[in-house]
Amino acid sequence: MELTVDQLAARAGVSVRTVRFYAGRGLLPPPRLRGRTGLYGDEHLARLELVRELQSLGLTLAAIERHLEKIPDDAPVEDLALQRALLSPWAPEDGEVLDRHELDRRVGRHLDDDDLKRLEALGVLEPAGEQVRVVSPALLGVGAELAALSLPLETLVAAHAAVDRHMSALAAELQGAFQDSVVRPYREGGRSPEDRARLMEMAGRLKPLLIQSLVTSFQRAVDETIRRSTER
């Protein structure tokens, strides 16, 4: 495949200026030249898609540059696709900016300013001028129910901080285990097409299975904690 910079930008869903900016920062290898025209291929498109995946995870441009420095310019398109497959399931959901009327409609009741403060403390939304940005639309319903409970605001803040702290540590530990026991053996074992296909399928199925396992384990841990507290 040979694409001009305009065609590459259109395929990747970015502007030509963005492509040139990334190229100037070294995120893309140089194009092949045909006369004075730069031509881009599958590997350039795969890198652009990988950059967008990394951005969706909240990485800064400097962090993305450090990540891509580890990937050789001549890395096969298949390896870049695998990188995306390993990242895609973990990309956070997109936030939404809503006005107060639409927010009330989504929740099913009127949210006053105190409700908004409590939802902000839970990390569900954040102010956006006259509107609000729902950071996690999937948590809006359960967050609104938690906000309606007669718990002190400091309790909600402490609960959110505890969950965020432990989940971040757990995610880092799980990611390290996956890299050490699955990804590294694949890279050191010849990277056969069959192994790559299995790894990509596994990456797509891993997140929902882990989430189900974590929910079940947390429920069991809560039950055990309550049981121990009542035995004292």
Distance (Å, whole) CA 231 – CA 219: 19
Given a cut of 70, whether residue 94 has pLDDT beyond it is: no
The alpha carbon of 87 is separated from its chain's Cα centroid by a whole number of angstroms, namely 7
Q: What are phi and psi of 134, to 5 degrees?
A: -80, 105
The percentage of the chain sitting over the pLDDT mark of 70, rounded to a whole number, equals 95
Query: Tokens 């590294």 identify what position?
Result: 184
- Strand, coil or helix: what is 32? strand
Structure confidence at residue 89 (pLDDT) = 55
For the residues 162-177, what does the mean pLDDT come to?
82
Given a cut of 60, whether residue 21 has pLDDT beyond it is: yes
Distance (Å, whole) CA 154 – CA 156: 5
Higher pLDDT, 183 or 117: 117
Mean pLDDT of the chain, nearest integer: 84
Bridge partner list, 131: 128
**What tens digit of pLDDT does each residue of 148-166 get?**
888 898 888 898 888 888 8
Q: What is the pTM of this model?
A: 0.53
Given a cut of 70, whether residue 101 has pLDDT beyond it is: yes
**First and final C-alpha spacing in the chain:** 70
Structure confidence at residue 104 (pLDDT) = 94
Higher pLDDT, 76 or 6: 6
Q: What are phi and psi of 29, to 5 degrees?
A: -70, 160
**What tens digit of pLDDT does each residue of 119-144 get?**
998 888 999 888 999 988 888 898 89
Q: Which CATH class is domain 5-90?
A: mainly alpha
Given a cut of 90, whether residue 49 has pLDDT beyond it is: no
For the residues 178-207, what does the mean pLDDT come to?
76
Query: Which residue type does 191 have?
Result: R
For the residues 193-200, what does the mean pLDDT come to?
76
